[in-house]
Each structure stands twice: as C-alpha cells, then as structure tokens.
Amino acid sequence: MDVDISIHRPTGSFRLNFLNNDIANAYTNLTNVVVRVAPKSAQSDARSVLLNAHFDTTLGSPGGADCASCVGILLEILRVMTLPGSPPPLAPILFLFNGGEETFMQAAHGFVAHHPWAKTVGAVINVEATGTSGPDVLFRETGGWPAEVYMRTAPRPTATASIRDLIRFANLPVDTDFSVFRDPTLPNGNLPGVDIASMLDGYSYHTDRDFANRIRRGTIQAYGENV
C-alpha cells in the first residue's frame, strides 16, 4: 500500500449560518494534517473515504474528550492499517486531522475548498465528542446507504434522530464539521456520510473538566471499533 502525508495550511472565508444568523467566517494559515492510505493499484483520482477529527480545543478546555479522544481513535486506526503485513484498503482512505473546528469549522472548509485530495472524497465519517463517556452515537447522517452501512457493519451501533432534530429546530448552539462536508454550496461538498459522537457526561463538554482521565474506560476502544 501507499501512504502519503500532506501538511496543508489553508486560507479562506465562507458564509456560515449560525443560530439563524449569517456570519462571515474568515481564517488564515490554519493547519491540517492529511494522511492518504491507498492500495498501490489506486489512481490518484480514485474515490476515497474521509475520516475526520479535530485537534484544536475550545478556550480554557484541555480537550481530553473533545477532541483528543477523536484524534487518538483515528491514529490507532491508521497505525493498525499500516502495520507490516496488513492488507491494503479496498479504496483510498483519507485521515484528516484538522486544526480549526472550534472556530466554527474553518479547517474543514479549508480542506473541502482548497485541498487537492478533496475532489476525490466520496463519503465522510466525522468523529466527534460532546461528552467523556459512551456509547458513541450516530446522530446525523445524510440518509440512505451511509446509515444502512453503519448499522450493518458497526459492532455496537447506536443511533438517534432526536439530537439532529434538536440541533435543527431548537437552535442549540452546537455544530460539527459534518455541516461543512455536507454543504451542497461548497466546492467538493454535499458529501454522503455519518456524524458520530460520544455524548454521556456532557457536563464536562467545553469546560476545564474535560481531562483525558475523566473518559470512562472502554469508551474509546468501543468507539474506534465502530468507526
């Protein structure tokens, strides 16, 4: 298999609707680390699956769950996939470690709008955390086959539609990179996929209590197996 690493520092801007208000969201020289794992037979423009997690944290929070746990999950998947003797993936897998989710999804936009690999993405799995304990929950999806594949293949699938409806209709002040990836107005957007997060113990979310040692034992292992 082939493994390629791209350090990407995008600059750009986009219109963001937040709590029913349009704001101009501009960013400069953010950092994205993108790893592409592909079978040697894959062409450079072969359709790929994107796995996304952000490594920035909100102000004042150590970010143990949100989202060091997410980054750790993707790093472990990447490590296992690239062990000597591991079979190559059937299609290219892109690992996006993005440095600007808490600033209203800037780094995800930087990847979708400006990275050359973005045009190859055919589906996305967004890995998030709004609490330090599992189970990890599929709470947003694009409908149809992404949700069906998740429910069929994840060892311990858990899903809810109520969170999606609360975000959409109750104006909850929360959002994830998934909104950027599925935005049909963006270059290389409108992607099918799933949005997953660990949600229990939400009292520590975006606070100074979000330490790694607060994460319940087994949460990250189960989450990673589902991803």
The pLDDT score that the predictor gives to residue 170 is: 52
Largest CA distance in the chain: 51
Against a cut of 0.85, is the pTM above it?
A: yes
To the nearest whole percent, how much of the chain has pLDDT over 70? 95
Based on the structure, what is the number of domains in the chain? 1
The pLDDT confidence band at residue 156, using thresholds 50, 70 and 90, is: very high
Q: Which of 141, 143, 157, 129 is nearest to 216 (CA)?
A: 129
> Catalytic site residue 141?
no
3-state secondary structure (DSSP) of residue 65: helix
User: How many other C-beta atoms lie within 10 A of the C-beta of residue 83?
Assistant: 7
Q: Could you report how far apart the first and last alpha carbons of the chain are, in Å?
A: 21
The pLDDT score that the predictor gives to residue 47 is: 96
Domain that holds residue 147: 2-226
The pLDDT score that the predictor gives to residue 7 is: 98
| pLDDT (tens digit per residue) in 79-121 | 999 999 999 999 999 999 999 999 999 999 999 999 999 999 9
Give CA–CA dist 135/48, Å, rounded: 27
Average pLDDT, the chain: 92
Out of 101, 102, 128, 141, the active site residue is 101
Q: Which of 163, 169, 171, 173 is nearest to 196 (CA)?
A: 163
Res 163 pLDDT > 80:
no
The pLDDT score that the predictor gives to residue 167 is: 62
| pLDDT (tens digit per residue) in 20-58 | 788 899 999 999 999 999 999 999 899 999 999 999 999
The pLDDT score that the predictor gives to residue 79 is: 98
CATH code of 198's domain? 3.40.630.10
- Residues 101, 103, 108: CA angle, nearest 5 degrees: 40
Tokens of 214: 């607060």
To the nearest whole percent, how much of the chain has pLDDT over 90? 77
The answer to whether the bond into 173 is cis (omega within 30° of 0) is no
The pLDDT confidence band at residue 159, using thresholds 50, 70 and 90, is: confident
